[in-house]
Amino acid sequence: MSQNLIDAFMDMREEDALRIANEMLDRGTDPMEVLEACKQAMEGIGQRFECGDAFVPELIMASEMMGQISAVVKPRIKSEASTEHLGKVLIGTVTGDIHDIGKDIVAFMLDVNGFDVYDLGVDVPVQTFVDKIQELKPNVVGLSGLLTLAFDSMKNTVQAISEAGLRDQVKIMIGGATMDEQVKEYVGADAYGPDAVAAVSLSKQWVGAD
């Protein structure tokens, strides 16, 4: 059944994907399995985009489909997860990059695990991160990016946070398919999270909930 959902998602059959997701949940399928199938499909669409076989409209539609299915899955996961308020996470895709698939999944997982998530969207200017940290006082800041140009954008963002005197007030994690420990060191972040599960684990550690 999961493969049927992946196929429908990647073929952009919106109604079929939503129907299959609902059928899986009604049959008692683990909500995380439904989300994982969507994640695999999103990654496949992202790979097509990188190869030039898919374009921005497909990315936008895939993101909308993910949002619809997430809205159905989220209440089922929340009923099983902690409803305790753990802390605030500010997240966004850095300036110059418009990829949001991974970011959206991370934001979703943080939300269902008890964090208040403030998603700034994509192509977020450096100053916006600084302003929002001052306004919201988050515990964690997540910088997302897929393109290699995001490396310098992330570095500039961390530097601006430091120059604003806010660096010691937040933990900063980075994520994205091209990110790794070397990039983490380059940009000056506290950690690199290879996936959404790691992002949740890091955030819980930093707020003393793990």
Residue 79: the pLDDT is 56
Residue 70: the pLDDT is 85
Backbone angles phi, psi at 191, to 5 degrees: -160, 160
> Is the Cβ–Cβ distance between 197 and 113 less than 8 Å?
no
All structural domains of the chain, each given as residue ranges with its CATH number in brackets, are 2-78 (1.10.1240.10), 87-206 (3.40.50.280)
Q: Which residues face 87 on adjacent strands?
A: 115
End-to-end CA distance of the chain: give it in Å, rounded.
Answer: 34
The model carries a pTM of 0.77
Question: Residue 171: how many CA atoms within 13 Å on its side-chain side?
Answer: 19
> Is the Cβ–Cβ distance between 55 and 47 less than 8 Å?
no
Closest CA to 68 of 97, 42, 94: 42
Helix (H, G, I), strand (E, B) or coil at 209: coil
Residue 25: the pLDDT is 93
Q: Give the DSSP H or E segment for 95.
A: none
What DSSP state is assigned to residue 124?
Answer: B
Q: Mean pLDDT per segment of 10 residues, for the chain of length 210 residues?
A: 90 94 92 85 81 83 86 76 80 91 85 91 96 98 92 98 98 93 97 91 91
